[in-house]
Amino acid sequence: MTQLKLAPTAPGARILGLGSSQPDNVVTNDDLAQRIDTNDEWIRDRVGIESRRIAEQGTLLVDMATEAGARAVKDAGLAPSEIDTVIVATCTMPTPIPNAAAQTADRIGIPAPGAFDLNAACAGFCFGVGAASDLVRGGSAKNVLVIGAEKLSDWLDWTDRSTAIIFADGAGAAVIGPAPDEASVGVGPLAWGSAGDMAQAIHIKPENKALFQEGQAVFRWATTKIAPVALRAIELAGLTPADIDVFVPHQANLRIVDAVAKRLRAKGARDDMVVADDIRHSGNTSSASIPLALDHMRADGRVRSGDTVLLVGFGAGLSYAGQVVVCP
């Protein structure tokens, strides 16, 4: 029997850098109210959004991915040539081919990396970080750039007030690299899964290529099924809810965020645990929402280097994933 040699493994992975990118164009609730039958108070009350960023027609998803990715590489203190793998979590590319990852890598100046897209919708960033961590740990990759990038504005019916008020554009990124020893591991095990029986609860309608969601069914699912996933991620990392400094769930709807945080506090999470509310000014940016929130919260000092951060993504598929990470 031929014996195959395996790549040398790493003790684990950690986050080395973060970056994000949003379009300049701010769209307020009042702006939307001029186009559709809605108002500022209703939107704030139902979803917690005050304003969102919507890309101009000529701005591509890969433009935002490139900016966020380049910033994360710089933040990690690495040269683009030191990245060997690029994962773009996205569900809103204009066409399925070509993928976003290879061209984004080329634009950043990363030479010939393994590059692929990953579609787990709003859970995509956590899936990507989990995959990156295991690629690093298993020795297939050294430094992985994971980007969540979405241009949801291309896939909305702007006359549908149930979706037009929620979704937005943006990109966020993290560089995942090897931890030199077990004490410095900064990405915990992935708690993940799916509920394919509810696939139709969030889908693109073939007739108008616009996103549709059964709001009430998704709200019920998210407010009941996601806290257990978060608790599982904490348990897999060998921690308790009281160890979590910062909770960054997918920014789907502020009321879902609050409901899940409340359930975690009922299980021992601290009252002073910082809870991401980036949706207020970023809207729901699907796979980009978690890294966008993390990068913004680090910039304004709400998350500090060394903080224990719980991530949990959930959405179309339905798909969900969470892990505990240490902020770089």
Partner 1 sequence: MADNTEILSGFAEIVEEVAGIDTAEVTTEKSFVDDLDIDSLSMVEIAVQAEDKFGVKIPDDQLAELKTVGDAVDYIAKNQ
Q: With contacts defined by CB under 8 A, name the span among 4-12, 175-183, 215-223, 269-277 that binds partner 1.
A: 215-223
- Residue 163 contacts partner 1 per CB under 8 A: no
Least distance to partner 1 from the beta carbon of 199, Å?
17
Contacts with 8 (C-beta within 8 Å, 6 or more apart), sequence order: 139
Q: Which sequence positions are flagged as catalytic? A: 122, 250, 284
Q: With contacts defined by CB under 8 A, name the span among 99-107, 173-181, 214-222, 294-302 that binds partner 1.
A: 214-222
Number of residues that bind partner 1 (CB under 8 A): 11
- Residue 212 contacts partner 1 per CB under 8 A: no
What CA–CA distance (Å, rounded) separates 316 from 25?
26
Residue placing its CB nearer to partner 1 in the complex, 61 or 256: 256
Least distance to partner 1 from the beta carbon of 61, Å?
30
Site string for partner 1, 254-273 (x = CB under 8 A): -x---x--------------
- Residue 224 contacts partner 1 per CB under 8 A: yes
Q: With contacts defined by CB under 8 A, name the span among 90-98, 157-165, 172-180, 209-217 that binds partner 1.
A: 209-217
From the list 33, 217, 236, 239, which residue makes contact with partner 1 (rule: CB under 8 A)? Answer: 217
First-to-last alpha carbon distance for the chain, in angstroms, is 45
The phi, psi pair for 58, rounded to 5°, reads: -80, -10
- Residue 225 contacts partner 1 per CB under 8 A: no
Which amino acid does the sequence have at 258? Answer: D
Residue placing its CB nearer to partner 1 in the complex, 45 or 56: 45
From the list 30, 45, 56, 181, which residue makes contact with partner 1 (rule: CB under 8 A)? Answer: 45
From the list 21, 223, 251, 282, which residue makes contact with partner 1 (rule: CB under 8 A)? Answer: 223
- Residue 284 contacts partner 1 per CB under 8 A: no
Which amino acid does the sequence have at 151? Answer: K
Judged by the rule CB under 8 A, the positions of this chain that interact with partner 1 are 45-46, 215-217, 219-220, 223-224, 255, 259
